[in-house]
Amino acid sequence: MNTPSQAQQLAEEARAAFQAGRYGEAASLFERAHSLSVQAGDALTAAEMANNLSVARLQAGDAAGALAAVQGTDQVFEQAGDTVKQAMALGNQAAAQEALGQLETALSLYQQSADLLKPHKDQAETRAFVLKSISSLQVRTGRQLEALASMNAALDQQKKLSLREKLLQKLLGIPFKQIK
C-alpha cells in the first residue's frame, strides 16, 4: 500500500538528485511522488510535487513537460488559500512559457505571481526574483522603460545587494529622479 511517507521519501530523494544536478532522475522521482500523493488523495502534496516536477523538467530541458506538470496547480493552492504557493505555481508556469518562447503569456503569469507575493513581506526575495524575470522579459519585448521600473522595484525588495546591484540601483535612480 502507498503511504504519504513513501511520497515524502521519494521527494527527499528527488531533492537530493536535483541538488546534485541529476535533473532527469529528480523529475522521475518527483513524478512518482506526485502519483503516490494523487493515489492517497492528498491534493496539496500532489500539487507541490507537480511544481517540483515542473522545475526539474525545466532544468532537464523539457519545457513542454514542465508546463504540463504545473498546469492547474495554482488553482489547487488558490482553493486552499495558500497565496504564496499559488504565486510559486504561477511563476513556474511563467518560466515554462518563457522557455517555450511564449513571452507575453510568461510576462502575464510573472506579473500575477508578483502581485500575489506583494503583501507577503517574508517573500521579498522571491518577489525580487520574479520582478527581475519581469524586467528581463520587458527588455526582450521592447519595453525598456517598464523594464527599468521593474528592476528598480526588484532591487528595492532585496535586503542585501551585491556591489553590482547597488551600482545598478543608483543608476536606476537617476532617470526616476528626472521624471519626478
55 and 119 part of one domain: no
Q: 88 pLDDT exceeds 50?
A: yes
pLDDT in tens, 30-74: 999 999 999 999 999 999 999 999 999 999 999 999 999 999 999
Please state the pTM of the whole predicted model. 0.83
pLDDT in tens, 145-162: 787 777 777 777 777 878
Q: 165 pLDDT exceeds 60?
A: yes
- CA–CA gap between residue 129 and residue 155 (Å, rounded): 9
Do the domain assignments include residue 43?
yes
58 and 127 part of one domain: no
Domain boundary among 33, 51, 71: 71
Do the domain assignments include residue 116?
yes
Counting the structural domains of the chain, the total is 2
CATH number for 8: 1.25.40
66 and 5 part of one domain: yes
pLDDT in tens, 104-135: 999 999 999 999 999 999 998 999 899 899 99
Distances (CA, A) of 58 to 6, 48, 67: 24, 15, 8
149 and 96 part of one domain: yes
Reference 2, options 47, 48, 33; nearest CA is 33
Owning domain of residue 166: 83-174
Domain boundary among 71, 100, 127: 71
Do the domain assignments include residue 89?
yes
